[in-house]
Amino acid sequence: MSIIIFLSSGCKKTTEPEPTLLGTDPIGIVYDFDNNSYNLIPIGNQGWLRENMKAVHYRNGDSIPYITGDSEWKYATLGAWCDYNNDSQHVKEYGHLYNWQAAHDSRNLCPEGFHVPTNDEYNALINFLGGWTVAGGKMKEKGTTHWTYPNSGANNSSSFTALPGGSRSWTGTFEGDLGTYAGFWSSSAAPTSGYGYSVWMDNEEGDISNNDELDESYGLSIRCIQNSGSNPGLLLDHRDGKIYKTIEIGTQTWMAENLNLDTAGSWAYNDDEANAAVYGRLYDFATSGKVCPEGWHLPDTAEWNKLINHLGGYWVAGGTMKESGTAHWDSPNYGAFNGSGFAALAAGCRIPDSYPGHYYALKVYANFWTSSVSEYTHTEGVYQQFVFQSISIWPLTDDKGTGYSVRCLKNEK
């Protein structure tokens, strides 16, 4: 399906958009270094790519060696790829097969903002889908277009769409299992030296074999998962005693809630403090740069760019950054699954005093001031906008008197 992107102008009132036509998946498209495209699907609080990897370069542009010979494959000590039976006609549907060294390589063969999942991330997916006894069926493509009969238990209710790309054994020979087995590397090393963790599904059962230790010379498919947040914490603001959730995303630590410090130059939406308790307060540009707790600051556009690029870029990062559901967003809150833990809330905005109707767009937009000013006007402030109809994020500019939300970033040591 195509994704309709809605462009807005923040608190500069515009005509309300027509609702976007939505499907269940995908929510976005991303590209690897070789410009192969992949569909992004949310499963629980994780963002997965729906297709097997086809990359022949790591993200930095280094080539991944292509190995056809059995002996050369068996004794390879660096990452490598091949096609099943050394036949490139399988690539379009099944992708390439990779050894574990390629899955584990720090240069990363996944698109920007994504990585080869760890064993723990696969287990989190499997547990979300009900455990190993049923998860395979929920992950396998249904029918027998690609799977050999009977493809038991397959309903693909997760939209993961696992395909049986077969495998290459540690000896370098092909296993004859195209159509019957789907095996995927994790990036995690197993306790046994020279082995990595993998997951497997087959055509005879609806379960999935997880925590499976396999010789690192095997050739398996690879799926990628979107980067996420980690190490949730708490921040006490000693000025008013409020406590905020925090989250580490990449090398940064962010507040995972909107700031709610009552000060001059700030407002509760509709002048209702009950809204501030949920959505935080709205701040004008001048005030936004002065309200973060000690040791924290209002991030500039470069720091926002670092966050957003770590999560896949401006076109797709919104889904993993928006709070899921419609408690604090208007329906459909397209593509939101909050895998990053950032939990953006649609707090709306306060229009400057020179305009009528001071408050606007609660549950429609999440707008966050940056500390940067427009490079063109030098009089407007830059903010980041999330919308209920899209997984994209928009860097925009507006009158400095507008009231927008504030998220604070921890100072680097």
Is residue 374 included in any domain, yes or no?
A: yes
Sign of CA dihedral 272, 274, 278, 280: positive
Is residue 259 included in any domain, yes or no?
A: yes
User: Does 197 share its domain with 240?
Assistant: no
Is residue 34 included in any domain, yes or no?
A: no
User: Does 162 share its domain with 285?
Assistant: no
Report the pLDDT value the prediction gives residue 20, as an integer from 0 to 100: 32
Domain residue limits at 394:
229-410
pLDDT per residue, tens digit, the chain (413 aa), is 223 233 344 565 443 333 332 235 789 999 999 999 999 999 999 999 999 999 999 999 999 999 999 999 999 999 999 999 999 999 999 999 999 999 999 999 999 999 999 999 999 999 999 999 999 999 999 999 999 999 999 999 999 999 999 999 999 999 889 999 999 999 999 999 999 999 999 999 999 999 999 999 999 999 999 999 999 999 999 999 999 999 999 999 999 999 999 999 999 999 999 999 999 999 999 999 999 999 999 999 999 999 999 999 999 999 999 999 999 999 999 999 999 999 999 999 999 876 666 899 999 999 999 999 999 988 999 999 999 999 999 999 999 999 999 999 999 97
Distance from the first to the final alpha carbon of the chain: 45
Return the amino acid letter for 196: G
Q: Which of 124, 3, 103 is nearest to 55 (CA)?
A: 103
- Number of domains making up the chain: 2
Which spans in 58-217 are helix H? 70-74, 91-94, 100-104, 119-128, 132-139
Tokens 């921890």 correspond to what residue?
A: 410
Q: Which of 1, 10, 19 is nearest to 333 (CA)?
A: 19
User: Does 137 share its domain with 210?
Assistant: yes
- Which of 226, 252, 281 terminates a domain? The answer is 226
Is residue 51 included in any domain, yes or no?
A: yes
User: Does 85 share its domain with 192?
Assistant: yes
> Kind and range of the H or E element at 409?
strand 409-410
User: Does 221 share its domain with 239?
Assistant: no
User: Does 167 share its domain with 294?
Assistant: no
User: Does 165 share its domain with 310?
Assistant: no
User: Does 360 share its domain with 330?
Assistant: yes
Cβ count near 27 (within 10 Å): 24
- Which of 197, 226, 255 terminates a domain? The answer is 226
Rounded to two decimals, what is the model's pTM? 0.90
Tokens 């050739």 correspond to what residue?
A: 219
Three-state secondary-structure class, residue 33: coil
Is residue 40 included in any domain, yes or no?
A: no
Q: How far apart are alpha carbons 48 and 216 in whole angstroms?
A: 23
Is residue 169 included in any domain, yes or no?
A: yes
Is residue 28 included in any domain, yes or no?
A: no
User: Does 113 share its domain with 243?
Assistant: no
User: Does 398 share its domain with 303?
Assistant: yes
User: Does 278 share its domain with 385?
Assistant: yes
Report the pLDDT value the prediction gives residue 358, as an integer from 0 to 100: 87
User: Does 195 share its domain with 92?
Assistant: yes
- Which of 226, 242, 262 terminates a domain? The answer is 226
Q: How far apart are alpha carbons 7 and 13 in whole angstroms?
A: 12
Report the pLDDT value the prediction gives residue 10, as an integer from 0 to 100: 55
